[in-house]
């Protein structure tokens, strides 16, 4: 392996740069700098320098996902660290934050470090394993938070659950605040969610019988309850975070009401950020339900979808996170919520935000790379600045392709975008200066 790598014939894009016909010099896994065409041509004659011809494609900082599920330990029939890391590399992601809802639940520094180690040995991407807010999701115990270190565990979450007891949540937020750890909230009132569950179950049974109209009616009723569940839990968690003084990060925001709440909270000085998923900006709930399209939170109305896009355009929403949630085929038939998203994320965002909504690639790089790096205090990535790690993605923003789930590296083969044409494809991914994925 050569110490120097020249990436040339590229359009270089990050949140501050858009350089056409540019070149990037990488030394020992770090970005040395953006070069002039004259300097690049001179280096191309040096046989000691490795070369990568981008063929006019866009080179960006690799993406950072603050919300993914690799199902390891205990649920590895759905995904494991290796298959998830391969999916991340194929999607152009260099860093992924993993949720703790595994079996057993990740509730200790030791367990988090073990998953981080597994990924490090593979060398495909960096994994940052988050830890549960309450021990084992028991809803009451927060003593395990005292051992955490923000450098290793920058984020805690009860993803897939809500901490029902507000006093417990406040206590956890105060502990997180004292350690400069983000509290990432899956905002969903558990009692309203429980009321929606039998409606979903009935709808799935009707769908299996081909009774789509009746199923649609029940799913719409369930979705209304789940929207109320998200809204009410969001309002509560924002108020608790204000009292605790902690950094609260809202997972997969999906309603216009929640976006309005975030906008108001930011204006009042509360330390709040939020994420939006590609599937919530790419799809809206329809009148023709699909048994596979169930996800938490549900696909919302067209009005909600447009509100989410506007929030990303105006900066109310901070980052794109995939909520990559792989399941087996049987899981999906049984109504398990969620689907694989790492390998379609860039294409969906490029199609919906850049091509259809007028966002620049520089803005897209900010919400997919720079901003999540800032939130996670990853000071050595997210831009093309000299000295940063050479975690890079090469994309063709104009290439149209059709989603085919069987081509996924992830074990979870279901995508709601299956068979759809998207614009923008990942050509190659570099991790620490090494190619870890190439078409």
The pLDDT-based confidence of 3 (bands split at 50, 70, 90) is: confident
What tens digit of pLDDT does each residue of 393-431 get?
A: 999 999 999 999 999 999 999 999 999 999 999 999 999
DSSP 24-45: EEEETTEEEEEE-HHHHHHHHT
Position with higher pLDDT, 261 vs 211: 261
Residues 368, 281: Cα–Cα separation, whole Å = 14
What tens digit of pLDDT does each residue of 296-307 get?
A: 999 999 999 999
Which two tokens mark 166?
A: 């507000």
- Residue 113: helix, strand or coil by DSSP? helix
Residues 131, 166: Cα–Cα separation, whole Å = 19
Position with higher pLDDT, 134 vs 2: 134
pLDDT at residue 398, as a whole number: 98
Q: Count CA atoms closer than 13 A to 185's CA, side-chain side.
A: 36
Cis peptide leading into 104, omega within 30 of 0? yes
Is 323 noted as a catalytic residue in this protein? yes
What tens digit of pLDDT does each residue of 124-169 get?
A: 999 999 999 999 999 999 999 999 999 999 999 999 889 999 999 9
What tens digit of pLDDT does each residue of 42-100 get?
A: 899 888 899 999 999 999 999 999 999 999 999 999 999 999 999 999 999 999 999 99
pLDDT at residue 240, as a whole number: 98
**Residue 283 phi, psi (nearest 5):** -140, 150
Q: Is the pLDDT of residue 289 over 70?
A: no
pLDDT at residue 335, as a whole number: 87
Instruction: Taking residues 256-265, report their average pLDDT.
Output: 98
Q: Which residues pair with 273 in a beta bridge?
A: 249
Cis peptide leading into 313, omega within 30 of 0? no
What tens digit of pLDDT does each residue of 14-41 get?
A: 999 999 999 999 999 999 999 988 888 8
Q: In what order do the strands lie in the sheet containing 272-276? A: 155-157, 182-185, 248-250, 272-276, 319-320
Q: What's the Rg (C-alpha) of the chain?
A: 21
Residues 317, 262: Cα–Cα separation, whole Å = 8
Nearest 5°: the CA angle 403, 75, 168 is 105
Instruction: Give the DSSP H/E element, type plus range, for residue 126.
Output: strand 126-129
Residues 46, 43: Cα–Cα separation, whole Å = 5
Which two tokens mark 306?
A: 């447009």
Sign, CA dihedral 347-352-358-363, equals: negative
Which two tokens mark 124?
A: 């495909």
Residues 336, 195: Cα–Cα separation, whole Å = 17
Residues 368, 422: Cα–Cα separation, whole Å = 18
Place of tokens 């694989």: 340
- What is the pLDDT of the chain when averaged over all its residues? 96
Nearest 5°: the CA angle 190, 240, 234 is 45
Residues 370, 346: Cα–Cα separation, whole Å = 15
What tens digit of pLDDT does each residue of 316-352 get?
A: 999 999 999 999 999 998 889 999 999 999 999 999 9
Place of tokens 């609260």: 248
CA neighbor of 437 nearest in space, from 29, 28, 91, 5 = 91
Parallel/antiparallel/unpaired status of strands 18-27 and 4-13: antiparallel
Instruction: Taking residues 350-359, report their average pLDDT.
Output: 98
pLDDT at residue 288, as a whole number: 62
What interhelical angle do 212-244 and 256-267 show, nearest 10? 10
Residues belonging to the chain? 439
Residues 118, 72: Cα–Cα separation, whole Å = 10
Q: Which residue is catalytic, options 14, 65, 223, 323?
A: 323
pTM over 0.95: yes
Residues 233, 431: Cα–Cα separation, whole Å = 38
Query: Quick count: other Cβ atoms within 10 Å of Cβ 300?
Result: 21
pLDDT at residue 1, as a whole number: 59
């Amino acid at each position: 392996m050569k110490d120097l790598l020249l990436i040339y014939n590229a359009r270089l894009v990050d949140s501050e740069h858009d350089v056409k016909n540019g070149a990037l010099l990488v030394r020992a896994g770090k970005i040395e700098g953006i070069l002039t065409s004259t300097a690049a041509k001179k280096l191309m004659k040096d046989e000691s320098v490795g070369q990568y011809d981008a063929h006019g494609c866009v080179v960006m900082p690799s993406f950072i996902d603050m919300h993914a599920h690799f199902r390891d330990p205990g649920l590895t029939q759905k995904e494991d660290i290796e298959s998830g890391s391969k999916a991340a590399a194929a999607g152009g992601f260099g860093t992924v934050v993993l949720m703790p809802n595994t079996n057993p639940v990740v509730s200790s520094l030791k367990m988090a470090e073990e998953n981080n180690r597994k990924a490090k040995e593979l060398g495909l991407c960096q994994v940052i394993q988050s830890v549960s807010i309450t021990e084992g999701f028991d809803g009451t115990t927060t003593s395990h938070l005292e051992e955490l270190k923000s450098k290793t565990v920058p984020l805690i979450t009860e993803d897939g659950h809500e901490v029902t007891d507000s006093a417990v949540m406040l206590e956890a937020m105060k502990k997180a605040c004292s350690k400069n750890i983000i509290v990432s909230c899956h905002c969903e009132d558990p009692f309203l969610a429980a009321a929606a569950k039998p409606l979903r179950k009935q709808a799935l049974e009707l769908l299996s019988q081909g009774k789509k109209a009746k199923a649609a009616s029940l799913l719409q009723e369930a979705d209304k309850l789940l929207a109320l569940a998200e809204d009410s839990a969001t309002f509560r968690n924002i108020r608790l975070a204000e009292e605790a003084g902690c950094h609260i990060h809202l997972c997969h925001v999906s309603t216009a009401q929640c976006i309005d709440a975030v906008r108001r909270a930011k204006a009042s000085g509360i330390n709040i950020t939020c994420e939006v998923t590609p599937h919530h900006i790419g799809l809206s709930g329809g009148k023709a339900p699909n048994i596979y399209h169930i996800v938490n939170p549900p696909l919302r109305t067209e009005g909600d979808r447009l509100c989410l896009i506007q929030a990303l355009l105006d900066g109310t929403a901070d980052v794109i996170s995939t909520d990559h949630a792989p399941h087996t085929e049987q899981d999906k038939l049984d109504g398990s919520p969620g689907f694989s998203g790492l390998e379609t994320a860039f294409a969906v965002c490029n199609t919906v935000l850049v091509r259809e909504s007028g966002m620049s690639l520089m803005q897209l790089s900010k919400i997919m790379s720079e901003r999540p790096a800032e939130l996670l205090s990853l000071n050595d990535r997210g831009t093309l600045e000299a000295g940063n790690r050479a975690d890079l993605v090469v994309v063709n923003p104009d290439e149209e392709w059709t989603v085919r789930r069987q081509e996924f590296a992830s074990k979870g083969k279901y995508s709601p975008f299956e068979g759809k044409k998207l614009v923008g494809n990942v050509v190659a991914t570099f991790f620490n200066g090494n190619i870890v994925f190439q078409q």
